[in-house]
Amino acid sequence: MQEPIIRITERPKPPQPEELNLRFSERAVLELEALLTHYPDKKSAMLPALWIAQREYGGHLTSDAIAEVAYRLGRSYAEVEGVATFYTMYNKTPVGKYMLEVCTNLSCMLCGGYRILEYLQEKLGIRLGETTPDGLFTLTEVECLNNCGDAPVMQVGDIYCRRLTPEKIDALLEELRQSEAHTVVALADAEVQLHLSAQEREQIERALTQS
């Protein structure tokens, strides 16, 4: 009987600049440069770099976004993809302008988390994991948001909505429809800004106004 053959393929190399359609803005490049000074090597900046990419690519990490991070950090595509797919906070498929992330962990479950989820499904006419046809809302279920004392809780971009009731949800959805705040992109930007010092943020603003 023939021995099974195991073929070891060459590891993919970091994409070359000429193969890429680089999309990081001037701001994003400055932010990444500042972030790289925080770490002993480029690889360690991968999580904030992915937040920058999620913002720059409009809310989810396309294969181009992953390739751009790989190129800018000098890593392989597979390595960056491995990190991006490990963490649920990075979106790998298109999502709505707002993500409604309902906690259904123990405290929230006991305080009506699933009722909130059902209410939202009915109200928006979508099921878990789906996006409304107008592209505004994506509904997901998440683990504990660390606000158990105020259950049931839902994260919407950069805010936590606590002690939820159907009335509060109605008001929130109405507010979101009129607003540009708490979007998926705003959350990615907030995460990037959290990683930068006040001084770095000022230097970036100054460099952008001078350019």
> Would you say 107 or 193 has its CB closer to ligand FES?
107
Query: Please, which of residues 104-123 interact with ligand FES by CB under 6 A?
Result: 105-108
Contact call for residue 53 and ligand FES (CB under 6 A):
no
- Minimum Å gap between C-beta 173 and ligand FES is 20
- The binding track of 121-160 with respect to ligand FES, each residue x by CB under 6 A or -, is -----------------------xxxxx--x-x-------
Q: Is 113 left (phi over 0), alpha (psi -120 to 50) or beta?
A: alpha
| Helix and strand numbers, DSSP H then E, in the chain | 9, 4
- Minimum Å gap between C-beta 184 and ligand FES is 20
103 and 153 in contact (C-beta within 8 Å)? Answer: yes
> Would you say 45 or 102 has its CB closer to ligand FES?
102
Query: In a 10 Å sphere around its CB, with 0-12 CB exposed, 13-18 middle and 19+ buried, how is residue 37 labelled?
Result: exposed
Residue listed under structure tokens 């997901």: 140
- Minimum Å gap between C-beta 172 and ligand FES is 17
Count of positions on this chain that bind ligand FES (CB under 6 A)? 12
185 and 4 in contact (C-beta within 8 Å)? Answer: no
- Minimum Å gap between C-beta 113 and ligand FES is 7
Q: Is 138 left (phi over 0), alpha (psi -120 to 50) or beta?
A: beta
**Gap between the Cα atoms of 61 and 51, Å rounded:** 9
**Residue 93, SS3?**
coil
Interface with ligand FES by CB under 6 A: which range of 25-33, 103-111, 114-122, 170-178? 103-111
Query: Please, which of residues 176-205 interact with ligand FES by CB under 6 A?
Result: none
Residue 33, C-beta contacts closer than 8 angstroms, at least 6 positions apart: none
Interface with ligand FES by CB under 6 A: which range of 8-16, 72-80, 100-108, 132-140? 100-108
> Would you say 108 or 186 has its CB closer to ligand FES?
108
- Minimum Å gap between C-beta 103 and ligand FES is 3
130 and 140 in contact (C-beta within 8 Å)? Answer: no
- Minimum Å gap between C-beta 3 and ligand FES is 52
156: β partners: 100, 159
Q: Binding residues for ligand FES, per CB under 6 A?
A: 103, 105-108, 144-148, 151, 153
